[in-house]
Amino acid sequence: MAVIAVTKERRDAETRVALTPDTAKKLIASGFSVIVESGAGASSYYPDADYAAAGAELGDLAAVLGKAEILFKVRGPTAPEIAGLKAGAIVVGMLNPHQDKATLEALAAQGISAFSMEFVPRITRAQVMDVLSSQANLAGYRAVLEATHAYGKVLPMMMTAAGTVAAAKVFVMGAGVAGLQAIATARRLGAVVTATDVRPAAKEQVESLGAKFVAVEDEEFKAAETAAGYAKEMSAEYQAKQAALVSEHIRKQDIVITTALIPGRPAPRLVSAAQAASMRPGSVIVDLAVEQGGNVEGVVAGEVSETGGVKIVGYANLPGRIAADASALYARNLFAFAGLFLNKDGAFAPDFEDEILKAALVTQGGAVVHPALAR
């Protein structure tokens, strides 16, 4: 049976790991062999002993890559890792295909069939493989915790003998998976929450969580969602109207969390420097889109910057700050995806015409093959 290999993450101080001991055990039960680089799970608090107990083999990088028929990664493999793979191997991970084209070209040159989990289609049978949702859920949760830490005040209303403390006002911009989790988390902590999104379907979702929806609800707004459920980029006219509404609203907020992303494009600018400056000193903005350029003007990737007493949190990879749970969810996504490599008899026989595999395939036969990238 095919050998699934897992190596340490070597990019961007990544703390997650692509496979947990529990998922390794399930893969072995499915018929795969598993080999893990020693120390791969250390940053996620999964020790080598747990992988060994699950039935996985442990080895150094060269040994792991030499045996790999399928390499599971969180981030894209490094150049030395790619060079250590044999032609015909399979790589599965979050490969950042729109931005990290050098890695795709290196994978293609090595004769690797690579699958980018960001391209898994949003269809019913692929829901369990949706890494964007599993990681965004945790990012939305963590964003509220980071905001609370930076805020310096309590979130819920508190009535004490010394007087009443008002509840914090939290505004979430973008009501996708991350945004909805941020809304739910802020509500659980007792904040007064409002939210906005350009997708009409988001209004009902926001209100179902007990938050108030804020948006310019014109004709463009009613058609602002793709068939795949993603937000469309809005016209300059709509953005101006929405900005005016948001500017007045944001001025009154204590915490703003921005989550808006458009696949394959830089993150849309949602908060200008002037809007940020209009907030009261001590207020906090958390930008979840910082890795794609940021939603907030002046955000600094990896840092907490401050202007006029307003803190702008630009931490990248918030799921990596909850590495154990983020790894566990991601590994379950990959376990489900690996099942597509097996035929009905349980033999390793990937059907590259399967709609999920075909949608996620980015390199094969020495070339970058995904239509969105080949263009």
Catalytic residues: 122, 127, 130, 133, 230
Which residues neighbour 198 within 8 Å (Cβ) at sequence distance 6 or greater?
215, 221, 224, 225, 231, 232, 234, 238, 242
Residue closest to 196 by CA, chosen among 172, 177, 220 = 172
Helix (H, G, I), strand (E, B) or coil at 255: strand
Burial (Cβ within 10 Å: 0-12, 13-18, ≥19) of residue 269: middle
- Strands of the sheet with 304-307, listed across from one edge: 212-213, 192-196, 169-173, 255-258, 284-287, 310-313, 304-307
End-to-end alpha carbon distance in the chain: 36
Measuring CA to CA, how many Å separate 234 from each of 195, 242, 258, 299? 17, 10, 16, 22
